[in-house]
Structure 1
Amino acid sequence: MKAYVIQNGTYQLVDIPEQQPKGRQVLVQLKTAGLNHRDLNIKDRVGNKAERFVLGSDGAGVIEKAGDEASRFEIGEEVIINPGLNWYDNTEAPPEDFEIVGVPFDGTFAKKILISEDFVERKPTHLSWEEAGVFALSALTGYRALFTQGILKEGETLFIPGVGGGVTSFIIQMAKAVGARVITTSRDSDKLKHAEKLGYDRAILTNEDWKIALADEQIDIVIESIGGATFNRSIDVLKKGGRIVTFGSSTNDEFTFNLRSFFYGQYKLIGSTMGSREELHELMQFIEKHNIKPLLDKGFPLDNIETAFTYLESQKQVGKIYIHM
C-alpha cells in the first residue's frame, strides 16, 4: 500500500506491506489525514536513520479488521485516530511512555494504519470525513491549553497571537463557545479577514505596537505558540496577575525575559502539550454540544502530498490542510 515515509533522511512516497491486526489491534482503512507542523520537524528528530517511519498524526477512516482480543468496535465503524499514545487519564503531565502517532510509531499518511483499539474513537457525527481527519491533534492541544491548564472562564479576555493555524482556530471557537472575549493577530490582513468566520472579537496586525493597540484591553490570559518572536510582547499586554499558557514554539525555543518584571507582575506561566484520552472524550462532547468544526483550507491527494508539505511550510494557510486517500 502507498505511504509517505521518512527514511535515510528523506521524505518518500513508497509502497509498504500491509500488516494484519493481532491481539487488541485494529486495522483502519483511512479516508483522510491531517497535516500538522510536527510533520515538518520530524526530519530533525529522526536524522538519517535507515529505519522507515510512516509520517502523519491525524486521520479518520473505517475499521477494516480487528485482532482476536479487540472488542471496542465493529467492522465498518467510522472512527478517528487519537494521536496521543499511552496517556489515558488527565494528569498534570504526560506519562514517561507518552508518544504521538507518526514516529516512532507508523502514522496516518498511508492507505491504512494498524493501531491499538485504545487509541481509536468513534467519529463525531457532525464532522465530515475531511473535518474528522484533521481534528484530534489540534483540537486536543487547544482544549488542554485553554481549559485544563488555562482554566478559561466566561467573561474573560483571551489574547492568542497567530490566527490561521489549526490549534489557534480551535481555541478561538472554543473560547467563544464559553463566553470569552477573543483577540488575535496575524502578519497578513487577508488572513484576518478570512478567519473572521471563527468569531473572534478583535484582531490586530503582528507588526503593530501591541502595547499601544491593546492599551484599552484587560487581557486575563494569553495562549502562546510562537515562542521567542512574540513571548515578551505577549507578557507586555497581559494584565498584572494574568496567566500565559504556552504549547509550542514556531520560532526560537530559547530567549530571555525580564525575571524581575515577571515576578513583580505576579504572572503565571503554564506549559501545555497535547492531552489525555480522558480530555479527548471531554473535547468530543464539547465540540458536538457547540457544533464546533475545524476550519479547512486545502486538500490534496496522497499522491501529491509533497505539494501539501510545501504549502504547509509556506504558512499561507488559514485552517487545516488535509490529505484524501
Structure 2
Amino acid sequence: MKAIVLVGADQPLTLQEVDKPTLAPGEALVQLKAAALNRRDHWISIGKYAGIKYPTILGSDGAGVVVEVAGDAGQEWLGKEVIINPGHDWGDHADHHSKEFNILGLPDDGTFAEYVKVKIEYLHPKPAHLSFEQAAALPLAGLTAYRALFFKGKAKKGDKVLVVGAGAGTGTYAVQFAVAAGCQVFVTSGSGDKIERARQLGAAAGVNYKAQDWAEELKHMAGGFDVVIDSALGPDFVKLPDLMNAGGRIVFFGATAGNIPELPARTLFSKQLQLLGTMMGSPDDFEAMLDLVNEHKIVPVVDEVYPLADMQKAVNKMGNSAQFGKLVISIS
C-alpha cells in the first residue's frame, strides 16, 4: 500500500510503498478515503514531540470503509463507512486518561496511508450528511473542542463563550459547537478575514489579538465571559481572568504561544474562577460529540484538500498557521 512515511526529524515526508497492516483478533482494516492533519502532526514532523520513532506513518484522523475484520466479533462492520476515534486506551476515569492512553499516528502507524488497522471499539459510523473529506476532519479536533466546551467548561445555553484563536481546527469546532448549544460566541484571531469567517459560523463578534487594546475591546463588547476556550496560552493569557464573569471557567489544551505567565491571584479567587486543563476526550465524549454533529447537521470547516502525494505542502501550510479550519488529505 502507499503511505506517507516520516524517516527523521526535519526530513521531508515521503510517499512510499509499505506492507499492508496485518490484523490481530478484535482489529479491523479500514480502507481510508480521507485523512486530516492536526497540529500534532506538524510538531512530530519537525522532531518536537515526545516519544517519536522512525520510520513512522503519521495521521490521527481518518474516514473510510471497513474491508476486513479479524475474528468473529465485529463482522457487522464489514463494508460500513466509518470514522475512527483516535484516542486509544483512555481508561476507566471520565476525569482523566490512563497512563496507557495513546493517540493514533504515534506510536501506532496512522491514517496517512491507503489502509490503517484499529481495534473494532474505535470504529464509529460516518455521519451520513458528511462526505469522507468532511468526516475525516472531525475526530481529534472535534473531540478536543467538545470536551473543552461541555465536559470541562460546562457551557450551556445562554452562556457567553470566548474562543481564542478561532482559525484553528479546534477553534472552528468550538465556535460551531457552542453556537449549536445556544451560547453567545465571541472570538479572537490575528486575521480580520478569519474573524469574519467565524461570524459566518455564528459568532457574534471578534477582535484582532494583535491590537494592543484587544482585551478592553472584548470587555466592551461582551461585558464578561462564562467560558473561555484557549489553545495558545503565552503572555496574553494573563488578560483573561479580568474578562471573566464570576464563577467562570478558562479551559486550555495547548501552548503554541508559550507557558502560562504570572496570573493575578486575587482576581482568580475573588471571582472564584476555574483554570481547567484538558486533552482529547473519553469514548463517551466522542459519542456525545458525534450525537451533537448528527443532531445539528454540523459540517466541519475544510480549508483545503490535498492529494496524498502533496502531504508536505499541507504540513508546511499548517506550520505557517495559514488555514481556517482543517487541512484534509484525499486518499484514492
TM over 0.5: yes
Among 208, 211, 215, the alignment partner of 2:219 is 215
2:48 alignment partner, SS class: helix
Determine the structure 1 residue equivalent to 2:293. Answer: 287
Is the aligned partner of 1:239 residue 2:245?
A: yes
The aligned amino acid for 2:316 is T
Question: Structure 1: where are the runs of 5+ without partners?
Answer: none
Determine the structure 1 residue equivalent to 2:36. Answer: 34
Question: Structure 2: where are the runs of 5+ without partners?
Answer: none
Determine the structure 2 residue equivalent to 1:264. Answer: 270
Determine the structure 1 residue equivalent to 2:13. Answer: 12
User: 1 CA distance for matches of 2:41 and 2:161?
Assistant: 28
The aligned amino acid for 1:304 is D
When the two chains are superposed, the root-mean-square deviation of aligned CA atoms in Å is 1.7
1:273 alignment partner, SS class: coil
Output aligned runs, 1:150-169, within 5 Å: 150-169=153-172
Superposition TM-score, scaled by structure 2 size: 0.92
Q: Aligned pair count?
A: 324
User: 1 CA distance for matches of 2:85 and 2:36?
Assistant: 12
2:77 alignment partner, SS class: coil
1:28 alignment partner, SS class: strand
Determine the structure 2 residue equivalent to 1:319. Answer: 325
Write the deviation string for residues 19-59 of structure 1: whole angstroms up to 9, x where unpaired: 2222011110000001010111112226885x321101000
CA contact (8 A) 1:33 1:323 kept: yes
Is the aligned partner of 1:178 residue 2:184?
A: no
Distance 1:131 1:89, change over 3 A: farther
User: 2 CA distance for matches of 1:12 and 1:269?
Assistant: 37
Between 89-98 and 116-125, report the one with greater CA deviation: 89-98
Determine the structure 2 residue equivalent to 1:107. Answer: 110
User: 2 CA distance for matches of 1:281 and 1:174?
Assistant: 14
User: 1 CA distance for matches of 2:302 and 2:292?
Assistant: 19
Determine the structure 1 residue equivalent to 2:308. Answer: 302
Distance 1:47 1:154, change over 3 A: closer
User: 2 CA distance for matches of 1:301 and 1:123?
Assistant: 21
Among 223, 230, 236, the alignment partner of 1:224 is 230
User: 1 CA distance for matches of 2:260 and 2:240?
Assistant: 16
The aligned amino acid for 1:4 is I
2:6 alignment partner, SS class: strand
Distance 1:267 1:175, change over 3 A: same
CA contact (8 A) 2:42 2:319 kept: yes
Superposition TM-score, scaled by structure 1 size: 0.94
The aligned amino acid for 2:218 is L
Structure 1 segments, 4+ long, off by >4 Å, are 46-49
1:31 alignment partner, SS class: strand
Write the deviation string for residues 112-145 of structure 1: whole angstroms up to 9, x where unpaired: 1011111111111111111111111111111100
